[in-house]
Structure 1
Amino acid sequence: MNFAALPDVQHSIEMFRTLLSQSQSGSPRQVDKPLILYGAGKLGQMAAELFAKLDIPVRCAIDRHPPASGLLNGSIPVLTPDDIPASDRCDSLIAVCVVTAPYEPIRNFLAESGWLDIVPVYDVFEAYTARLPMANGWFTEAPAEAECKAIEKVLTAWSDDESRAAHLQFMAWRLGRQEWSFPDAPVSLDDRYFIPQICHALSDNEYFLDAGAYHGEVSQRVIGMLADRCQGILAIEPDPENFRQLDSWYRAQPASWQERITVLEKALGATGEDRPFRDGLGMASRSCDSSGSHVDAIRLDDLEFPVTFAKIHVEGDELEALKGTTTTLQHRRPLLSITVYHNADGLWRTPAYLMQALPNYNWRMRLHAWCGTGAVVYGIPAERNDH
C-alpha cells in the first residue's frame, strides 16, 4: 500500500486506528512440503544454515543471478526462476530470503510465475522458535487500549513525520503483514546506524559503544568514518564464536588502535547476572530461556566508559540492556542507534522508555530493510543537534 504524503501527528494516529480496525492476517508457517529458497544472498546463506540445524532439507535455491559455483553454501543447487518445472512450483513451499527489496513485488512475480505457496522466510522460522530462537518473524496481536494510547504517545513524540511513517510501516507489517510505503520515507539500506542526522552530530572526541559487535564490522566503519576523531571503542559480543572473530579483528588492528579498543565477551543487560543464551547461530545468537547454555552479563552502568555514541543491537534484549545503561546515558547523553525489530518491545516499549528516561532528545525512527526488519531508533541530544 503506497501513501503519497508523510503523516503528521493527527494523521498518523488516524492511520494507526484504521490499521487496528482491519482484519489481521498471517501466522507462523511450518514446512509441510518440499522447501525451496528464493534468494541466494546473505539471508539465503543464513537461512540454509539454520534449516540445516533444524534438519529441514532444502531442495534448491532460486536466484536471478546464481553464484559462479552454482551452489548455495557449497551443497544446495542454485537455479534461475525459469529453471524450475511447473510441477515444483505447485507442490513446493517457496520461502523468500530477501529483505533488501519490497516483499510484495517478489511475491507477485512468483505468483504470476505459477508458485502457489509463498511466504517470507522469517515466518517459517517463527514456527520453530522452540528449537531455533530466531527473532525476526514475530507477529503481534492487536494491542489493548492502554497499549494503543502508549503507541499514540510515541507517534506524537517523534521529531519528524518521516519517523511517524517508519513507525506505521513497522506496525503494519507486524500487525497484519501489510507492506506500507511512503515515497518521502524510503527504506534506506546503506546508512544503518549512521543516518545523516547522526553523522552531522558527530564530534572530534567520540567514544563508541558497539553492543552486539558481532565480528567488528560496525566498529570498523566507525574507525573509517572518524579516524582520529574516535578516542575509544568498547565492543561487546556474547556469542563465543562471534567473539573469536571479533577478537581476531581487534588483534589485526594497528597498535595505535588496539590501545583505544576494548573487546568483551559479555552480554549487555539490566543486571550483572548470567543468563540463558543460545549460541552458535551467528548473527541470530540470542538470549533464550530454553537454552542450556549461559552467558555472563554486564551493565554498562558498572563500567567506566565515557560513551558519546552508542549502537545497541542485541537480538531482542535492547530494552533489558537499556535498563542497565540508563544512569550512564543520562549522565553522558550520547548519540544513540538502537535496533527495535526483534520483538514487540519495539512497537512502543523501547522507544517510550528512551523518551521518558532521556528528556531533551530528538527522536527518530528509520527502516533499513523490508519485512519488518531493520527498524532503528535514533536519539540525538538537543545540545548536539546543531553541532
Structure 2
Amino acid sequence: MKWKRAFKYKRGKLNLIPDELLGREPVSLGREGGQSFLSDKVILVTGGGGTIGSEICRQAAREGPRQLIILDIYENNAYELQQELNVTYKNLNLKIEIASVQDAMAVNNIFRKYHPELVFHAAAHKHVPLMEDCPGEAVKNNIFGTYNVITAAREFRAEKFVLISTDKAVNPTNIMGASKRFCEMLLQSVKYGSTGFAAVRFGNVLGSNGSVIPLFQSQIDRGGPVTITDKNILRYFMTVTEAASLVLKAGEMAASGEIYVLDMGKPVRILSLAEELIRLNGFVPYKDIDIIETGLRPGEKLYEELLANKCELTATVNHKIFIEKQEEIALSQITYSLEKLKEALKNSSNEKIRSALKEAVPTYKEPEEVNDRLREFLN
C-alpha cells in the first residue's frame, strides 16, 4: 500500500492529519440536491456529544434546522459542543437534554416535548474488550436503548430514524458487534409504517475516541514499543467527516429499513500502518522503535467485514453508497428475543446474557472459529 505523508511538524511536535492515513482518497459524498431535507426540521441526535454524534450535529447545524436537540448522558461533551455551536451559529435553536437512552420514560418525554422529525441514533457502547467484560451494559444500552428510541420515534411519528451501526455487526464475534447486529434486526422488524428507518455501517473512524492512531502516536512519543494485537489484523478506515456525511445521506434516502454501506476501498493492514507512523515520526521500525504483538483481545476478529451479503447489493443515486439486501424479520421473533434478553439481565450472569444474545443473533460466532479460518486463508 502506498502511503502519503501523514504528519507535519509544528513547534517541534508532530500533528496528525487523519485524512491522509486512509490509504485511499477521501470519499466526497457530494451535495447534489444538497442536504435540504435537514432545513427547517426538528432534529434529534442521541449520543450527540460523541465523536460521530457531534460531527452530525455540526453538519446538520449548517443546514438551518428549525431546532437541533442533542441528547447525551455525558454532560461535559454536550456542554462543550453547545458552546462551540452557539459561537459558530448565532441563530441556531439548540437544546441540550442530559439523559440515558436506557430510560424509556425520559426518552418518551423528550419526544413528547420536541416531536423530532429526524432522529440520528449514535448513542451506544462501542469498545469491544470492555463490552466482553460487561455484556449486560451492552445489552441494556445498545439493544434496549435503541429499542426505546425506535419505539418513541414510531409513537411520535418521526419522519426518519437512522441507526449508526458498525462493521463489527457483520458475522459478529463479540458482544458489542452482536448487540449492534440485533439493532439492525430491530429495524427490519418495524420498517413498515410512517417512519422511514435505515442503518449505516461504519469501519473504524480516524480520530474517534479509542481509535488506534492516537494510541500508536502516544506509544511512539514515549519511545515505544508500539503494540498491535496481531500482525494479520486488517481494518477499514474512514474519516469523521465521511462518517457523518454518510449518516446524513442515509437519512435523506431512508425508507424501509435499508442498511447503507460506504465504498471504503481496500482494508488497511494495521502492521503497515504502525510501521509507517514510526517512519513519519523520523524513526526506523524495529530498530529505533519496536513493534510487538500482544495477542488478540477477547472477541476480536482479524478481519472486519462491511457486507454480510456481498452479492446482494443495490446501487443508490450516489455511486459510493450501496444498500445491502436484508431478510424479513418478524416482530414476534424480535419480541421473543427481547424477553429472553430481559430475563438474562435479571439473572445478572454474563454467561446467560451471552447465551441469550447468541440465540437472538444467529450469525454470532466464536472468534476462534472465524480467526482460524482466516489465518488458513492468509497463509
Would you say same fold, with TM above 0.5?
A: no
TM-score (norm 2): 0.39
TM-score (norm 1): 0.38
